[in-house]
Amino acid sequence: MVPSSQAAEKQMPAEPGPDPELKSWRCLVFYLCFYGFMVQLRPGESFITPYLLGPDKNFTREQVTNEITPVLSYSYLAVLVPIFLLTDYLRYTPVLVLQSLSYVSVWLLLWLGRSVLHMQLMELFYSVTMAARIAYSSYIFSLVRPARYQRMAGHSRAATLLGVFTSSVLGQLLVSAGGVSFSTLNFVSLGLLAFSLVLALFLKRPRRSLFFNRDAPVCRGAAPSELGRMNPDAGPGRAPRGAWRDWTLVRMLWELGRNLRSPQLRLWSLWWVFNSAAYYLVVYYVHILWNVVHPTTDSTSVYNGGADAASTLLGAITSFSAGFVKIHWALWAKLVIAGVTALQAMLVFLMYSTSNIWLCYLAFVLFRGAYQFLVPIATFQIASSLSKELCALVFGVNTFLATVLKTIITLIVSDKRGLGLPVHSQFLVYFVYFLVLFGVYLLGAMLVVLQHFQASRRAPPPPELRSPAEEKAMQVLSEQDGGLSSLQPEALPLASQEQNQQPEAKA
C-alpha cells in the first residue's frame, strides 16, 4: 500500500515551466518584424526622381517619364508570376534574399549608372523587389499556428508601415535639416540595405508552404486545408493522380470558379483590379509631377519625403479605422466605393490643375489615404468566405490582372512608342479614368438600392420596433389586462356554443 503522502505527491500536477514553443515564437516574431522594418529603411527612395533630373544624373524629364519609368510596369508584369510561384516552391526565404539582393542592385545602379539603359535595368531590379513583397507577407503563415495568424499579420504589417514612415521622415530630415545631398542619401540607403541583406540570410526557412510543399508535417493545431477537402483521395505523402484535373493549380482554379458566384467576391475583386491599376500609376508618376509643379535645384526645398511620410501615416490611420465601419455591405458597398472613387477623381484633378506644390502634396496624401481605407475592407470581404489557399490565389489573380491593365495603360499613355504624353496630361487621363469608374459604381449602387426598396415593398411589413422602455410599458399593460379579464366570467367561443347546441337539438 502506498503511503498517503506519496500518493498526494503523485497526484499533484507539475508546475508549469516556460513553454519553449512560445519562446521560439516570440523570438521569431521579433526577428521577422525587425527584418521587415529594416528592409523598408531606404531614405533616398523619396528623392530618386529629383536625383535623376538633377545635376548628378542630368536626365531629361521626357526620358524619365516616357523611357525609364514605363519599364517598371513592363518588368513587374514579367516577373510577377514567376516570383509568385518561386516564393512557394522555394519556401519563401530564398525569395527574401533575392529581394534584398535586388534592392542592393537598385542602389548600385543609381550610384554607378549613367545611361538610360542602366536606369531601365534599375527599374527591372526594383520590379523584382515589388513582386517579392508577397514572400514577406505570406512567410509567417507557414511558420505559426492558425490561431496566431491574425496577430502575426498585424505585427508584420505594423513593422512594415513603421519602416516606411521612419524611412521617409529620416530622408526628409537629412535633406532639409542636415543639408545632405541626394547622392549621399543614396549611400546611406545602400548601407542600410546591405545590412538587411545580412538579416535575410539568417531567416528561418519553413518546412512547408501553401501549394507545392504540403507533404511535410503540419504544425500542431493546423486546420485541414482547402486542398485536402477538394481532393480527399490524396492523403499525406501520397502523390497526386496523373489526371490533369487533379493538379493542384487546376483544382484550385476550379474551386475559385465556383466561389466567383458570390456577388461580393466579384465586386471587390473588380475594385481591386481597376482601382489598383490607376492608383499605382499615380504613385509612380507623382514624383515627376511634383518636379514639374515645383522645379528647383535647391534640395533643401524638396519635401517629397515629408509627403510620403504623411501619406503613409494617414494610410495606416484610415486602414485601422476601416475595421470599425459596420454597415450592410451587400447593400451599401457600391455606394461607398462610388464615394471614395469620386474623392480620388477630385484629388487627381487637383494634382493636375494646381500650381501650388503644397496643395499637390496634400492632394496626394489624401489620395493614398482614401485608397488605403478600402484595402482592408476589400481584403476582409474577399477573404471572409475563402480558405487561406484560395485567398492567396484570389489576391494573386487580382494583382496579376491589375498589373496587366496597368501595363496596357502605360503602353498607350506613357510610353514613347504610344502617345508619350507628358506627366501633366497623364494625370488628366487618370482623372477621366476615375470619373468613369465613379459613374459605373454610382449606377450600380442606384440599381442595388432600387431593387432593395422594391423587394421591401413586396415583402410583409416587419414587426414594429420599440425601445426597451416601451416594451416594458406594453408588458405592464398586458399584465393589467390579464388581471381584469380574470375577474370576468369565461365565455365560450361561438363555435363551441354551436357544438354544444347541436346535441341538444338532436336530443
Q: Which amino acid is at 192?
A: L
Nearest residue to 282 (alpha-carbon basis) of 90, 469, 428? 428
End-to-end C-alpha distance for the chain, whole angstroms:
88
Nearest residue to 282 (alpha-carbon basis) of 212, 208, 344? 344
Q: Look at residue 257 in the predicted model and tell me its pLDDT.
A: 65
Q: Look at residue 184 in the predicted model and tell me its pLDDT.
A: 93
Q: Return the DSSP state at 357.
A: H
Q: Residues of the chain whose pLDDT is less than 70? A: 1-25, 141-150, 208-261, 385, 387-389, 459-507
15-74 pLDDT, tens digit per residue, is 444 455 556 667 877 888 899 999 999 999 999 999 999 998 999 999 999 999 999 999
Whole-number Å distance between alpha carbons of 487 and 355 = 86
Q: Look at residue 158 in the predicted model and tell me its pLDDT.
A: 85
Go through the domains of the chain in sequence order and give each one's CATH number. Answer: 21-208 (1.20.1250.20), 259-458 (1.20.1250.20)
Helix (H, G, I), strand (E, B) or coil at 225: coil
Q: Return the DSSP state at 185.
A: H
- % of the chain with per-residue pLDDT over 90: 48
Task: Please report, to the nearest 10 degrees, the dihedral formed by the alpha carbons of residues 115, 119, 121, 125 taken in order.
Answer: 160
Q: Which three cell numbers stand for residue 489?
A: 366570467
pTM of the model: 0.78
**CB-based contacts of 175, cutoff 8 Å, min separation 6:** 47, 182, 185, 299, 300, 302, 305
